[in-house]
Structure 1
Amino acid sequence: MKCREGCGACCIAPSISSPIPGMPDGKPAGERCVQLSVENLCSIFGRPERPAVCSGFSADVEVCGNSQEEAIRLLGWWEQMTAA
C-alpha cells in the first residue's frame, strides 16, 4: 500500500519513545508530532534526525485502513494492544 499523502495518522495516533526534534522525550499516543505540518506532512522526512521508528514505518491496509479517520482508529487500537 502507498502512504496517503497528507494523512498524518502515523504521526498522531502512536506513541514514539525516541527523541524527536522539538520533542526530546518523544510523544505520547494521540498527541500530534511537532514535526507534522498543517498539511499533515513530516517536516523532517528523509532527514537524519527523523526517528528510526518513523523511517521504518510502512503503510499497510491493516494499520492504515481506507481513510485518515480509520487509520487513527486502527493505529490507536494497535497502540493499546502493544502497550507494555
Structure 2
Amino acid sequence: MNISETVNSILYRFVNESTAKTDNENTGNMSKGEALKILGLTEDAKSNDINQAYHNLMKSIHPDKGGSAYLAQKINEARDVLLK
C-alpha cells in the first residue's frame, strides 16, 4: 500500500467514525486523540513530528492536488489541536 492509499484509508476511517456519532456526541471540536489518529501519531509526538506528519499528508490530500477540501480541513484542524 502506498502513502496515498494509507492516508486515504486513515482519513476515511476517521470520517466514517465521526459521522456515525450522534448529534450530542459530535460537537465539532476535535479531541487530541482524534487529532493523533488523523496524523498517525502517538501521544509522545513532538511539534516537529506533528508538522512533518501534517506536511506529508497535505502533499497527497490537498485540494489543489485533486484531494478533498473536507479532508484537508480535518488535517489542518488536527495539526492545530496538537500544536495549541
Q: Same fold (TM over 0.5)?
A: no
The TM-score, its normalising length taken from structure 1, stands at 0.27
User: If each structure's helix is expressed as a fraction of its own residues, which one has the higher value?
Assistant: 2
The TM-score, its normalising length taken from structure 2, stands at 0.27
